[in-house]
A and B are shown apart, each in its own frame.
Chain A
Amino acid sequence: MYLGRVIGTVVASRVAHGLVGSKLLLVQPLDDRLQPNGPVQAAVDTVKAGPDDLVYLVGSREAALALDPWFVPVDAAIVGIVDQLYTPEQTP
C-alpha cells in the first residue's frame, strides 16, 4: 500500500471483461515526502477520487479485492483519499 497523486483520467472503451464500467485514474506513486516514486500507473478508483487528490492505493492481488465482483484483472486500486499526513519521525 502506498501514497499517490491523481494526475488524470484514463478512458478506455475496449477493456478486458472484468474492467467494464470501472473508473480508471492516472496516478503518480509518492513516498512519505510526497516525492515521485516510480512510474505513473493507471488505477481503479473505489472512493470517488479526482485529479490532484492525494490518495493511497493497494497493489497486486489485494487491489482486485477492493472491487465487487473481485475476480477482476486489476493490480492497483485507490482505496482512500488522504486528508492529512502526520510524519513526526521523518528523517531530514
Chain B
Amino acid sequence: MKMCRVVGNVVATEKHPVYQGQKLMIVQPLDQHGNDSGTSFLAVDTVQAGPGDRVIVMSEGNGVRQILDMDVQLPIRSLIVGIVDQVDCPAEV
C-alpha cells in the first residue's frame, strides 16, 4: 500500500456503472518525509478523505472486491483505505 496526499477529486457523469456514487480522488504518492515521490493516480475513497489529507492507498483488485463487496465484477484497482494521523520514522534509510 502507498502513503499518498489527496490532491483533489474527479467529477465525471459519463462512467462505468460501478463508479456511480463513488468518490474518485486524485492522490499523489509520498515518501516517509511527506515529500511528493512518484506519479499521481486515481483512487476511490472509502474513508471520507478530503483534499490535503494524508492517506493509505491500496492498489489491488482482490482487496477492492473484498472491501466494496458488490456482487458484480469491479473494474476498480485503487482504494483509499485509511487516513494517516501520524508517521514516526526514527530509522533513516
Contact = CB atoms under 8 A, between A and B. Distances in A.
Interface residues of A, number: 34
A85 interface: yes
A79 B75 CA distance: 8
Q: Which range contains the number of B residues in contact with the other chain?
A: 20 to 34
Contact of A62 (B15, B19, B52, B61): B61
A86 B76 contact: no
A43 B23 CA distance: 23
B2 to A, nearest CB: 13
A47 B8 contact: no
Contacts of A79: 15-16, 19, 75
Contacts, number: 104
A56 to B, nearest CB: 6
Pick from B9, B42, B64 the residue with the most CB of A within 10 Å: B42
A58 interface: yes
A84 B36 CA distance: 23
Contacts of A61: 61
A60 interface: yes
Interface of B: 5-16, 19, 24, 26, 28, 36, 39-44, 51-52, 61, 64, 73-78
Interface of A: 1-3, 31-32, 37-38, 46-48, 56, 58-63, 65-66, 70, 77, 79-91
